[in-house]
Structures are given as structure tokens and as C-alpha cells.
Structure 1
Amino acid sequence: MAETLLKLTGITKEFPGVLALNKVQLDIKEAEVLALVGENGAGKSTLIKILTGALGGWSGEILWKGKPLKVNHPWEAQQAGISTIYQELTLCPDITVAENVFLGREPKKHGAIDWAKMNAMTAEVLEKLDVHVAPTEKVGRLTVATQQLIEIARALTMNAQLIIMDEPTSSLSEHEVSTLMRIVKDLKANGISVLYISHKFNEIFEISDRISVLRDGEYIGSVNTEDAKLDDVLVMMVGRTVNIRFKERTNKIGDVIFAVENLTTAGAFEDLSFELHEGEILGVSGLVGAGRTEMARAIFGIDKSDSGAITIGGKKLPMPRSPKEALKLGIGFLPEDRKEEGLVLLMSVQENSTLTALAKNRHNTVIHSKQERSLVEEYVKKLTIKTPSIEQLTRNLSGGNQQKVVIAKWLASESKILIFDEPTRGIDVGAKAEIYDLMNELVAQGYGIIMISSELPEVIGMSDRILVMHEGRSAGIFEKDAVTPEEIMSYATGADRN
């Protein structure tokens, strides 16, 4: 019987107007992979912040190897042997990979940083992770997926006894996910425990020994993974039966409302052309680095394209030169990174939700606050955004509710052409079902949606047609009923050419 490494009892944390955690308990054994699941807002992130010393003002007890542990600062958690890989990246973009991996722990020689040793140690851990970047490369030049692996590399160099992984695969390709699964198994074999937080049940059932469930800030229970059934875990999470099957849409697909012709940005993508119909969801699939997000940013005017044109309402136009110009054309963009690009975290739910609709809620320079409040309250109710009030700062909301605020912002803009880049990234199964229902409702009302997703079931389940990209080019556009997941992956990897 393995010894208990970490035990939490009676953990309680209250924010103004919100009981985030209510007498939560949790235990992790030595050399165990424990999956922690729950809907967004269940309290997972709050619990992790308490455990890692990032959040104070709580009550309860933490036992580490049977002895009380006080963590008032992240450094104290690291000193005890607890390392954390957060969902939101914590890297410094303007310094090198090696400097990020050993930040604050740089090897020294004669009182100075031993750069050769640090670069060599970094190269060694990167090789284990199958990451092919130089230790001297600036992190800001790397893709989000590669940065995620750099976070993992940093944790592995800390010689931790417990590694907390918060949605570690949210930006990874299937190959990179496989590599991470191997790493987790190696950690367990070497006596290291892993607290694995994810909404991806295929990963949870593959990698974990036990599954613990939080719901509405309370501990619901734990089950042995080998004895668990998915439906039972879902009921524990949401307190109700969840239908995660994709619903068949019956709305009529109309005329072309948007088209892209010969869109090219050197080094990112080349010669992309496609059409979007009224009432249609056009899925975009491909591996990380295929150019999907870069294409979306060019369409929305964030990044400059070298050539290409769009057609809206039968009128051919040059590519938008800015997001402001795209917004005027009726194009909305829900970005992959909601915190960095979709929201102003220090602004309220109300202020974020109406950023794209200021013109219709003001007279000259004065905002009609009553009209604005009414609009936001309508979207909070419609999207079931969990917030104490519309004055709540968006940084205090869970990831799923933050995503819903971004969607509210684009609904308020009345844009009919919506680009959703990874709309359910890091979102629990209950919130996913709600967003799928919302997307279905939008296309039934005549919206056209371009949905970029790394999850094949989502692409096939939600799309009417699927654009598959490979290395910056279109590998084909397929009716969803005429292509299998295996065929999509074949086109996305370029294997079809062989």
C-alpha cells in the first residue's frame, strides 16, 4: 500500500459574495497519478492556488508526508517538492528557453551563471520531451504548443515529488500529447506523483490511477479509474446526466455570405480559398503549425497578409487592415488565447461584453449605462455566465465563464461572420455542451461560423464542411459525412501524399 504524500482536509476559501471552496478534501499517494475533474467554476483552480502558495486567506489543513505544511508563497511549495504547470503560460518571452527553464535556479560557477552547463542541462531535458528547439532560442518566438512543453521541462528540472499539471495538453498536437503521456508514466515509474487536471477524458482514463471530483466548490468523491464509467463521472461532475453527443442540426444552409480567395502570408500559409454559407459551420482542422490561427488573424486584420481578397454580400473587397475594419464588415473573432487577446481582465463582465457595441450604447461620448446593463444582463442569462454580478472583474471568473464573456462580446457586435478559434479549449464537458448549443442556435439564426479546432470529434460533430490544412496549405474541403477521422488525419499530416 502506497503512503499518502499529500492530504488536504477542510479547505475553505471565500471571495466577496462567492464561497469558492467549502470544506474540500483531497489526498494523493506516492507514485500516483490523480486526475482532478469538475466543471469550470467547481473550484479546481482555487484549490491549486492554495496548494501552491499563490492564494492566502483560507482555512483548513495541508499535510505533506504526514506533517502540517504552510505555503504562503510559491517558493515554499517548490522547496517542499511541489511543482506546477499552469494552464496559462508563465514564461518570460524575451529571454531564452534555458533561462526560463532555470529561472531563479541558474547553475553557478565562480559566482557567475554557468551558461554552458545551463544550456547543456536544458538540451538534455528537451531531448526527453522530444522538443526540437535550441536552449538559446527566445521563448517569445516559439509556438504556444512548444511553450507549453517548455513549462513541462522547467517542472522536470525541479526534482519535484509532486507535479501539478493544469490542462497540460490544451495546446498540444496528438504527437505531443503522446509524448506527454509517456513522460507522466515515466514520472510515476520513478516514484513521482502527478495531480492531473483536464477536461479530456480520453487522457484521464489512459493516464490516471484515481479520479477525484469537485462540484460547486465541494468535494463529491473519488473513484478508481479502472472501475469508473464515464457517464458516472459526468454525473458526479454536474449533478445531472450530460448528453455529450453532438446534436443534428435541421436548419437550412443558405447562400454564400463570406468567401476568401487566394489568401497568402509568406511563411505562414499560402493560396487559401474557401466559402462560408449562411447557417453553416465550416470546421478547420490541422496539426499545430498548419497555419490555422494565422489564417484567422489575417482575416480579422490582426496580421498583414501578402495577398488575397474577401467577398461579403457579393462584393469583393481587399483584406481588412485592422480588427476595427473587420468589425465594420461584420466579422467577429474569438481568439485561441482568451486572456491575452479576448478580454481585458481588469475590466468587468459588463465592460468586456459591450466593448464591440459602444457605438450603439452611447450618445456622443456618454455611455447609456441602463441600456448597456440591460444588454449585458440578457447575455449573462442567455449564456448562463456564472458571476456574482455584471460588475465582477473578468479575471475572477473561471475559464469557461471567461470564454462565455468573449462570446457575449461578439454577439453584442451583431457580427454575422464569426471565427471561433478553439472555442472549447480548457472548458469542461458541461460548458462545452452549452457552447455547442449556442453555436447551433446562432447558425439557425443565419450566422456563419468558421470553427478552428484541434479536437477531431468536435470538428466532425459540429461542422457541416471541413477545411483540412497541412503546412500552410489547404489539403481539401470535405462534407463531414464524406470523410472519416482517419482520412482527416491523413490529410492533416500529409500522409495522403504517400
Structure 2
Amino acid sequence: MSASHIPQPDTPALRLEGIVKTFPGVRALDDVGFDVRAGEVHALLGENGAGKSTLMKVLAGMYEPDEGSIYIEGEAVTMRSPLEAKARGVVLIHQELSLAEEMSVAENIYLGELPRKSLGRVDWKTLHSNAQAILDRLKCGFDSKRQVGTLSIANQQMVEIARALTVEAKVVVFDEPTASLTDAEKVVLFDIINDLKARGAGIVYISHRMDEIFTLADRISVLRDGGYRGTLIKSETNEDEVIQLMIGRALDLTRRRAAAKTGKVALQVEGLSCGKLFEDVSFELREGEVLGFYGLVGAGRTEIAETLFGLRKPSAGRILIDGTEVEISSPADAIKKGISLVPESRKEQGLVLGMNCRDNITLPQVGDLTKGPFVSDGAEIAIFDRYYEALKIKTPSWRQAVGNLSGGNQQKIVIGKWLAMNPRILIVDEPTRGIDVGSKSEIHDLIRTLAGEGYAVIVISSEMPEVMHVSDRIVAMFHGRIMRSFTTEEVTEDNLVAAISGIETDKVA
């Protein structure tokens, strides 16, 4: 570093000035600028589509800005590739995994920078030694020689994070890093972030989880509609002020009363078990009711949903619809019996990202829309138009690829797809994962509206405020068993946490 570029004590680790990025028909970033100090965790917030990911891709060398300047430790820089950005000390940890699944953990961590011996040969011993040291620092329980494709999504995310520790980073960007992590892994991640902060790195932290933001951040900058809306000091603000800056309005996230009126029992589950995943599960679900399932990772909530939808075969117990026992051996059986499942991972399980909006919504019933060898375009468009209006989906047209939509609108597409099958029982697993607070509010309102129209709804959520806000009753699970069910009048944060921790066993659902 030349003498003229030695950073002064008050020189930010990163400064952005007047960043503009335009795509055909869209001004994704409009004169964005703020700074990130060395040794600071700087949260970057905004609704889906606000421009956060585009800005980070500009910073990481994946996009070149149309206008504006980037300064690293006071030096103006131009970065034309992620490797060039990394060489300047800028590392982006993606929300979407960017790993080579056929390669080893070590190869992924040092991809593009493998240590070499003479004649360009890879120094495998050094590679695995260095990679294992990083994995040990992250408290990962897997070996550097393990093939990445054999790891869980959470462990793959840890490999993505490990990449940031291969250089003395000046700026590290974390884009929704905890979306796939367990609570224990989050603790390790937060320790690593605090360690990077102590070493003088500037941290940009993107998350929709306000509890994380107010735990980690020093300052909070907000984008809305591609523009910079301001920077707040964490110690001088609150969630309401941040949310209002993000979406331009206040949200009502207060606890709600149970539905005034529910109908007959639509679904009855008696002593349902599925091997060691869950056992002896019993509950009822009424028309017009939202039944929330809450518990820690591994509690068995998703597995119950998958069993009700025919993706898993129960080992014991009964499922009754309208008082009649039914056998569900496949999703086709479940759909015929009026059960639909909005899955936990919309991108991997709920959508075909390269397919347009219309075709995604009509995919489960495409056989019914076929006339001879052709699918009826008119019928498909009519179905899309119905849910486009009803769910307030934001897209330029039905021709737009679903992968180009925001997370909230993608979730609406998945919900619309299953509503189009005319279910009586709708199961929604993690309805707002990876969705901004404004879209969360819309999804919550939609769930309550569906219940009001007579749907029987199960909501599975890892977020306590969400499950308490949207549910009429809450089922608390621990290690594959139902510990207790709560009405909205009974439930508190304390007794809900006690139940999912296995502490309360005296009041079983």
C-alpha cells in the first residue's frame, strides 16, 4: 500500500458514493451511498426488491455500476470479478449457496486459490490442513475432505462462511447468513462476526430478522425502491422506526385474538407416528382456524406436514377428514382429499425458477387443462389472473420468470398454486422465511383471510412472534412429541419456550 493510500484512523473501511445500476426497464439502484467503518457491524435493510442484493453484487465485483464510486480504506477501486474483489479484501457470503457440490469442502473453501507446489501441482496437504483449521475455528463437525454435496444445507452454509476466513478481509458482507442455520450454529457465526469486528474488518450484515439486527449491529442503513433512505444508530432507534423507514408505513404486529367462530372439525389426527421422526401425535383442526406448530429444529413439525401430504408413510396412527379415516400414500392422494402443502423451501421444493408465473401456478393441474396434445392457454391465464388479483402478486406480467420475483411474491405464487387446487386444508411450512417485514405482514393477512373464508390452516414457523401473531391455537413440539397446546389467551413467550424445551410435560395437547 502506497503512503498516499494508508488509511487514517477515521477512514471508513468501505465508502459508496452515488451508485447507480440499471437493468432493462428497471433502475435497481439510484444514487446509493453510505459508509461502513472498520470494526463495525453495519446492517443493511430493505424489503425484497429494495436493491440490497444488487448493491452487494456491485461491491463484490459481480456487477459493474453504471455510475458512482467505491472506496476501500479511502482508495477508489474498480472490481470486475469476485476474485478481484477478494484480492482487495472484500468477501461476499451469499444467501444462495454457490458451491461446487462434487468437490471437497477444502476445494470449495479455496476455490480459485488452491495452494500450489512446483510445476503448478495442487498442494493437497497444505490445502486440507488450512481448510481444516478454518472448519475447527467454526466448530464444524465434518472433515475438509468431505464432498460438499453430501452435507446438509446448514453445513453447506458453514462452508460458504468459511470462505470469508481465507483472507484478511477488510469488508465482509453476510447476506441472510442464518437462514439455514440452527440456533447453535448461529451462536458460532455471531462469535466469528464479533471476532472479525475485533480484527478491524467492516461487516455488512443483511437480514430480515430484527432480533439479529438489534443483537449485532452498530448502525443500520435502509434501502427502499432502489434508493438510500438513511442510516440509524442502533442504540438510538427501535424496530418501529426501522420498519417505517423500510416500508414507508407502520405495521401492526400486536397479538391477535382467536377467530370468533370456527366450523366443524376438518382434520383429526390420532396417535400418528413416523418411526423416530415423531410419535403419538394427536390434534384437531377446524374450518376457519389457524393452528400453529412451533418447536426447535428437529422437533418433527415438517415431518408431520410431509406425512399428512403423503410424502412420508406413517408407522402408526390414524388420519380422519370430516370424521372419516383416510389413507394418504402420495401427494396425489392428499390433493384428492383436499390437502395442500406450501413447502418449507419455496425455491427448491415449491417453484420452477426458470418457468414463468402462469405455468408455476397451474403446474399441479396441467393435466386437467390439456386439450389433446396442447395445454389451454386461456384456461391457464384465467387461473393466473384470479390469483394475481386475489393475492396481490407484483410482477410485470405472467410471462416473468418466477426466479426474478422478490421472495414475498414467490411465496404468493406457491400459495396461489395450491389454492388453485381448491383445498379444504392448507398447510404452510415457514410461510415467511427470507421475506421482508412488509411482505411478511401481507402473508400473515393472507393466512388470516383464508381462515376467514373457511379454510382450515396449519402454519409451521420457527419464529415465535409470527406463530403467536397469526395462530388461533399453538401446538408446542419437542423431540417428535407434542408437549402442550395453547389458546391465544393462555400462551406467553415464557410458557411457549418452556414447552418446546421439554420442560412442561403435564399438559399434553
TM-score, L = length of structure 1: 0.91
In structure 1, what is the Cα distance between the partners aligned to 2:436 and 2:473? 25
**Counterparts of residues 344-383 of structure 1 (less than 5 Å):** 344-359=352-367, 361-383=369-391
The 8 Å contact of residues 269 and 291 in structure 1, kept in 2 or not, is answered as yes
1:243 maps to 252
2:217 to 208, 214, 218: 208
In structure 1, what is the Cα distance between the partners aligned to 2:152 and 2:268? 28
Greater C-alpha Rg:
2
2:261 to 225, 238, 252: 252
2:493 to 476, 485, 489: 485
Give % identity.
45
2:502 to 490, 494, 497: 494
| Cα deviations by residue, 1:291-330 (Å, 9 ceiling, x for unpaired) | 3223322332334444444222222122332x23322222
The 8 Å contact of residues 13 and 201 in structure 2, kept in 1 or not, is answered as no
Comparing 262-271 and 251-260, the one that deviates more:
262-271
In structure 1, what is the Cα distance between the partners aligned to 2:90 and 2:170? 6
2:47 to 36, 39, 44: 39
Q: Which amino acid aligns with 2:388?
A: V
- Any idea what SS the aligned residue of 1:481 has? coil
1:125 to 134, 153, 170: 134
- Any idea what SS the aligned residue of 1:358 has? helix
In structure 2, what is the Cα distance between the partners aligned to 1:137 and 1:149? 13
Q: Which amino acid aligns with 1:479?
A: T
The 8 Å contact of residues 85 and 164 in structure 1, kept in 2 or not, is answered as yes
For residue 445 of structure 1, report the CA deviation from its aligned partner: 0.9
1:197 maps to 206
Comparing 277-286 and 103-112, the one that deviates more:
103-112
1:175 paired to 2:184: yes
- Any idea what SS the aligned residue of 1:482 has? coil
1:421 maps to 429
1:21 maps to 29
The 8 Å contact of residues 308 and 318 in structure 1, kept in 2 or not, is answered as no
| Cα deviations by residue, 1:379-427 (Å, 9 ceiling, x for unpaired) | 2233232222221111111222211211121222212211111111111
In structure 2, what is the Cα distance between the partners aligned to 1:308 and 1:457? 31
Pick closer, same or farther for the CA change 1:100–1:316 going to 2, 3 Å.
farther
1:397 paired to 2:405: yes
The 8 Å contact of residues 282 and 466 in structure 1, kept in 2 or not, is answered as yes
Comparing 24-33 and 428-437, the one that deviates more:
24-33
Comparing 401-410 and 468-477, the one that deviates more:
468-477
The 8 Å contact of residues 172 and 288 in structure 1, kept in 2 or not, is answered as no
- Any idea what SS the aligned residue of 1:451 has? strand
May I ask how many residue pairs the two structures share in their alignment?
A: 497
Pick closer, same or farther for the CA change 1:384–1:200 going to 2, 3 Å.
same
Pick closer, same or farther for the CA change 1:494–1:133 going to 2, 3 Å.
farther
In structure 2, what is the Cα distance between the partners aligned to 1:343 and 1:371? 20
Pick closer, same or farther for the CA change 1:18–1:371 going to 2, 3 Å.
farther
Question: Unaligned regions of 5+ residues in structure 1, if any?
Answer: none
1:80 paired to 2:88: yes
2:329 to 310, 320, 328: 320
In structure 2, what is the Cα distance between the partners aligned to 1:16 and 1:415? 39
Q: Which amino acid aligns with 1:192?
A: A
The 8 Å contact of residues 430 and 460 in structure 2, kept in 1 or not, is answered as yes
1:442 to 438, 450, 455: 450
In structure 2, what is the Cα distance between the partners aligned to 1:342 and 1:233? 31
In structure 1, what is the Cα distance between the partners aligned to 2:299 and 2:102? 25
Question: Unaligned regions of 5+ residues in structure 2, if any?
Answer: 1-8
2:172 to 160, 163, 175: 163
Comparing 56-65 and 195-204, the one that deviates more:
56-65
- Any idea what SS the aligned residue of 1:234 has? helix
Comparing 110-119 and 424-433, the one that deviates more:
110-119
In structure 2, what is the Cα distance between the partners aligned to 1:312 and 1:146? 39
1:343 paired to 2:351: yes
TM-score, L = length of structure 2: 0.89
In structure 2, what is the Cα distance between the partners aligned to 1:481 and 1:97? 49
In structure 1, what is the Cα distance between the partners aligned to 2:484 and 2:153? 25
2:476 maps to 468
For residue 198 of structure 1, report the CA deviation from its aligned partner: 0.9
2:231 maps to 222
